[in-house]
A = this chain, B = another copy of it.
Amino acid sequence: MDEWREECGVVGIYGHPEAAKLAYLALYALQHRGQESGGIVSSNGRFMSSHRAMGLVQDIFKHEILLQLPGHMAIGHVRYSTTGASLLKNAQPFAMDSSRGRLAVAHNGNLVNARELREELEEHGAIFQTTMDTEVIVHLMASARSGRLIDKITTALDQIQGSYCLVFLTESQLAAARDPNGIRPLVLGRLGETVVIASETCALDLIGAHYEREIEPGEVIVVDAHGIESFKPFAPRPAKACIFEHIYFARPDSTVFGRNVYQTRIRLGEQLAKEQPARADIVIGVPDSGRPAAMGFARASGLTFEEGLIRNHYVGRTFIEPSQSIRHFGVKVKLNAVREVLQGKRVVVVDDSIVRGTTSRKIVSMLREQGGAREVHMRISSPPIAGSCFYGIDTPTREELIYNTRDGQVEKIREFIGADSLGYLSLAGLWQAVEPSGLGYCDACFSGQYPIEFPESIRRRQMDLFIREVGRL
């Protein structure tokens, strides 16, 4: 895959007679954050019920399944497999059972010291059944001396490093936590008396909840019959919100880190037009994520915005290619060029980012050959990606990024993708577009400034072989 993939979405519901159903709807709105597996754990105050499976939310949760998830509290999760193989047993929420009670946890993010913690726990006799960071967190919680949920949570959070948005469920309490740098988004909303926690506001919108505020970086909240209690167990650290949520990951109708994503992308396009103008006839976007930036580019440049690439929205996971090669086949399954729009035109095509470059190359070629474009000027609404993400995004290694394989030279990248010109948004321009408010962002993948240190071992872990499982169980 020639794109970055969001790792996960989480949701928590407290105080609604159909908590699992609301969790299901919220996960449905967060589907873009993880299409590999989904799960919900609910509690009615006496016992917990769970269902997890591979696949899309709407395929996993049928009516009869939801009936078997009773209770007024629930947490849910959708995921890609950043760490841990693509297996059902790695689906979340992770649930455990002990004589002192049950606990379920769902996690969006990535712990940079998970391996070290795990080895230490194994030294002391712990055994692991999954390869998920979440299991490490649960082990650390089990080692807390106090039985109070907040104490268990802080015991674990004291030891872990990395990015995390966590939701917790016991038989009687819901909790949520966000890492001190606030790398991944997490918001709090209300639907009447019901408390709703979710990765993005679009989940609140679907269930009709109103947005109240972000869970703050370093904040832990516990919700139970006594209401919401907020804890700040850590010394404050600088905000390092993931800037890529704005560029690509989040849904355009969501508000993340206090800003609407669609409007931010329009601004990115406007800024891009100022920095990287092009002599052209029309502007088109690579749908769907590149379209708002293309609209912004068109506005700032005065060029006409057109839809020159049409997306097939029935694209699924597997696709059978004919053995006789058809040119640009892979990209044709998703996109088609509109010849009547492009024919003989000088075309600016705006995309959000270039990862390996192979898709961009196919798009440029399709615009020329199938669309008949006279010139193709590619514009990217973010700076060149120069490094991997270790905070919860599934990225290629540094060596696979086209920016590195082409020696950090834009001209060589342009040559590879075959465009007449290529222009990236500058890092300064990116900050200007997203940060009039002064909030801090993590831009490590562009700048190499990683806000959280990580062990040398971190790359090796991803290579690790685990017990292979047949199929997806």
Residues of A within 8 A of B (CB): 16-18, 21-22, 24-25, 28-29, 31-32, 35, 41, 47-53, 56-59, 61-63, 65-66, 68-69, 88-89, 95-100, 102, 104, 118-119, 122, 124-131, 135, 138-139, 142-143, 202, 205-208, 251-253, 255, 260, 262-263, 288, 291-292, 295, 299, 304-305, 307, 310, 312-316, 318-320, 322-324, 326-327, 329, 332-333, 336-341, 370, 465-471, 473
Contact = CB atoms under 8 A, between A and B. Distances in A.
Contacts of A122: 98-100, 142
Contacts of A292: 307
Oligomeric state, in number of copies?
Answer: 4
A interface, by DSSP: helix, strand, loop or mixed? mixed
Contact of A252 (B129, B333, B338): B338
Contact of A471 (B65, B142, B202): B65
Given A129-B96, A473-B53, A333 B255 contact: no
Given A61-B320, A208-B327, A262-B340, 9 more contacts: A31-B314, A47-B468, A50-B468, A63-B320, A125-B139, A129-B130, A206-B333, A208-B332, A262-B338
A29 B124 contact: no
Contact of A128 (B89, B97, B104, B205): B97
Nearest to A17: B324
A41 B58 CA distance: 31
A128 B202 CA distance: 35
Contacts of A53: 473
B253 A337 contact: yes
Q: Report, nearest first, the 3 A-B pairs whose CB atoms are least far apart.
A: A260-B340, A51-B470, A253-B310
Contacts of A21: 320, 322-323
A104 B127 CA distance: 12
Contacts of A255: 340
Contacts of A320: 21, 24, 61-63, 66
A338 B119 CA distance: 46
B312 A467 contact: no
A50 B470 contact: yes
Contacts of A473: 51-53, 88
A198 B41 CA distance: 39
A273 to B, nearest CB: 15
A50 B467 contact: yes
B51 A128 contact: no
Nearest to A292: B307
Contacts of A299: 304
9 contacts: A21-B323, A96-B129, A97-B467, A98-B128, A102-B467, A205-B370, A253-B310, A260-B339, A305-B305
Contacts of A61: 320
A142 B119 contact: no
Contacts of A104: 467
Contacts of A51: 469-471, 473
Given A59-B316, A102-B467, A122-B100, A310 B263 contact: no
